[in-house]
Amino acid sequence: MILRMEESSSPNPRKAALTESLLRIVVERGLDQVSVREVASAAGVSIGTVQHYFPTKDEMLAAAFAEVVRRVRARLESVELGDDVRRNLSTVLQEFLPLDARRSEEARIMVAFSARAATSPELAEVQRGVLGEIHEALSEAFARAANGRADEAETKRTAHIAIAAADGLALHAVSAPRWISRPELAATLELLLNRLLPREKDASTS
């Protein structure tokens, strides 16, 4: 699962601190509570300082979303992958589910930005980019698992289902309290892979 590192990430430390404050607000109070004023207050700087780095709120949000995407990408690149396609798919998709505190925070952030992208062209571009990268990587994995027994259209649709189901499970887990437990999330992901990958008896290539 190789997600391309499309841009270098050596952000200005001041800018990085502002982004961190912004993401903290999103996790704790929600994206609708983010404003230049709130970020300045949370970071302990003046409104003018925030505006120096981010002239508009939309630019500030897009930079924060891009930063989260960079983190997800970096983590996916560091995942230990082997020859077992199914295990690789499981490992990668688990990164999108709120299975521990870190991933819960990240899922809350991703859900908030994804939803906001519906009415923000800047965020929509970021969203389209990250979906494209993940979709390409998953399509490759499903094509390898199908081993010639699925055409390209089917492989791409299978990848759409996998990303959509993972994001949908994350959305439901963060938006409805006590709706689905972490073990149940993990078990549901495994059942999804059982259904999307060729069955053992079909998969023999010998």
Binding site residues, a copy of itself, CB under 8 A: 28-33, 108, 111-112, 114-121, 123-124, 127-128, 131-132, 153-154, 157-158, 160-161, 163-169, 171-172, 174-180, 184, 187-188, 191-192, 195-196
CA–CA–CA angle 115, 23, 31 (5° rounding): 35
Minimum distance of a copy of itself from residue 14's CB (angstroms): 26
Minimum distance of a copy of itself from residue 148's CB (angstroms): 18
Q: How many C-beta atoms lie closer than 10 Å to residue 193's C-beta?
A: 17
Q: Which lies closer to a copy of itself via its Cβ, residue 5 or residue 187?
A: 187
- Using CB atoms within 10 Å of the CB of residue 171, give its burial: 0 to 12 exposed, 13 to 18 middle, 19+ buried: middle
Q: Which lies closer to a copy of itself via its Cβ, residue 101 or residue 118?
A: 118
Contact 192, 121 (CB under 8 A): no
Minimum distance of a copy of itself from residue 147's CB (angstroms): 17
Minimum distance of a copy of itself from residue 182's CB (angstroms): 13
Closest CA to 201 of 127, 153, 134, 149: 149
Give CA–CA dist 186/93, Å, rounded. Answer: 10
Q: Which lies closer to a copy of itself via its Cβ, residue 52 or residue 179?
A: 179
Q: Which lies closer to a copy of itself via its Cβ, residue 40 or residue 93?
A: 93
